[in-house]
Chains A and B, each alone.
Chain A
């Protein structure tokens, strides 16, 4: 007869078990480990003869045929929603006083520059500078997340989203630059081309700044706020 309580080794084994079943983030792993641990301890109280592995598999079955997949997928969806809310909560400062003045200055100065005779060339250079600066940051973030994954350090879903989105954003904008380079010739004949380009530049600059600089810089504070277990 064994005790009806799980040992520290059992808990560590359960963490490994969730990882083997495609749960890579510490926050969700922790919740599932506690769930399975409770289920196993309940089973042991009613049927003491059952082994740890049998009780574990019995609990795993209650998650349905897809195992943890559904929980993981929906959790990601729910956290992405929170990520977008956070992004907006920082971005909206740029549209309210006094930051809105900076937004207006960026917009007007780019509009004036893009309206010059050689405005098209200025626009190309401006977009390339913007994208190049976020590309290098994004590249650094991919390495940071990859390192954490490889060394099996605790990786939090929100942290993953913050850093991965920042780098995905950089990659996405590279394709945008290449496309722009090909289409700008025709586009620049359009009457409001400079106005649209300046508007696009302003919005993209704010979006990039918030997702690539502000959110990663505040990651620690945000993780502490969203995950009470972060500082435990």
Chain B
């Protein structure tokens, strides 16, 4: 997709928003949700999603839990307190960005 660059910059925000809504999620679940949410517009590979998760974990924004499910271990990601605050900041920033873009794309002309 030609516009995947636009989405890539927001990948972190998308992941954190998902986690804010779902409490805890595992890697495969996140990748599938991100793909569904961006409806194929974002042609992103698993090779890009895991690094984003690991970076957030190293920065202390995500916390991990591991559980044995069926016959394997599953790693769950959860927002830390710092992560929850950061999600709110990122979303405000994104909202502001969208508004600016909207003004740029659809300028409203007025006489004053």
Contacts and interface: CB of A to CB of B under 8 A. Distances in A.
Contacts of A32: 50
Interface string A3-42: 0011110010000000000000000001111110111000
A66 B47 contact: yes
B58 A78 contact: yes
B65 interface: yes
Given A34-B75, A35-B28, A78-B57, A64 B45 contact: yes
Given A6-B71, A30-B75, A71 B50 contact: yes
Interface string A35-77: 1011100000000000000000000001110111011001100
A33 B26 CA distance: 12
A185 interface: no
A75 B27 contact: no
B28 A78 contact: no
Nearest to A229: B66
Contact of A30 (B48, B51, B58, B73): B73
A30 B69 CA distance: 12
A37 B72 contact: yes
A24 B17 CA distance: 32
B101 interface: no
Contact of B58 (A33, A37, A81): A81
B75 A31 contact: yes
Contacts, number: 79
Q: Is the interface of A mostly helix, strand, loop or mixed?
A: helix
A170 B77 CA distance: 36
Interface residues of B, number: 27
A38 B66 CA distance: 16
B5 to A, nearest CB: 16
B96 interface: no
Given A63-B47, A75-B54, A5 B75 contact: no
Interface string A80-112: 011000000000000000000000000000000
A172 interface: no
Contacts of A34: 26-28, 69, 72-75
B101 to A, nearest CB: 29
Nearest to A76: B54
B70 interface: yes
A5 B72 CA distance: 11
A15 to B, nearest CB: 9
Interface string A221-232: 000000111001
Given A7-B71, A31-B50, A232-B66, A63 B45 contact: yes
Interface string B87-107: 000000000000000000000
Given A11-B72, A74-B51, A82-B58, 9 more contacts: A6-B71, A8-B71, A34-B26, A34-B28, A37-B72, A70-B47, A71-B50, A228-B65, A232-B68
